[in-house]
A = this chain, B = another copy of it.
Amino acid sequence: MPDVGPAVGIVMGSDSDWPVMRQAAEAVAEFGVSFEADVVSAHRMPAEMIEYGSRAAGCGLKVIIAGAGGAAHLPGMLASVTPLPVIGVPVPLKYLDGMDSLLSIVQMPAGVPVATVAVGGARNAGLLAVRILAASDEGLRRRMEEFQVTLRDQAHAKGERLRAEASQLSR
């Protein structure tokens, strides 16, 4: 398996999804994991989409993150042509608050799973990719544990400020 390329492929149906999807890229980058990002549209370039998915494992990718909105077919179609884990990000459109995107991604038929995250939850898609890689990389797993400690400490700090502010009310 050639392993020189990036570990995570981040793709989306249109560059208009990038403001959401770049949060996946940033999360992955925070952990020092290599990635590539591209526009791969299931509906506008289906042949290239199939090819991207079919070649992904051979190119050394370990996880694919795919974001799409509305009738969001990209994550599921990629999952059908790769044995890699595919993470789906429901991108919300102007109407329906992403409920269409969510159901189009998560309700996959038995045989072809997509690991779905929250509506607009691209950051979590990145973190999930890191967890998946960390399942076989102890160093990365330790960094994830440290990250979780940081989350806790930030919440503590927020609590401290909130307690101070709330104590004004209770007098």
Contact = CB atoms under 8 A, between A and B. Distances in A.
Contacts of A73: 42, 71, 73, 76-77, 104
Interface string A87-128: 100001111111110111111111111111111110111011
A62 B136 contact: yes
Contact of A96 (B71, B104, B107): B107
A105 B43 contact: no
Contacts of A159: 15, 38-40
Nearest to A25: B169
A99 B102 contact: no
In the assembly, how many copies of this chain are there?
8
A116 B106 contact: yes
A122 to B, nearest CB: 9
A135 B12 CA distance: 21
B128 A36 contact: no
A92 to B, nearest CB: 5
Given A106-B117, A113-B125, 17 more contacts: A15-B162, A25-B169, A35-B166, A39-B155, A39-B159, A43-B80, A44-B154, A46-B80, A62-B136, A63-B135, A84-B131, A85-B132, A103-B104, A108-B117, A112-B124, A115-B128, A133-B135
23 contacts: A12-B162, A15-B161, A35-B170, A39-B156, A41-B152, A43-B111, A44-B151, A44-B152, A57-B141, A71-B76, A71-B118, A73-B76, A83-B134, A83-B141, A85-B131, A93-B107, A96-B99, A100-B103, A106-B117, A108-B121, A112-B124, A115-B128, A135-B136
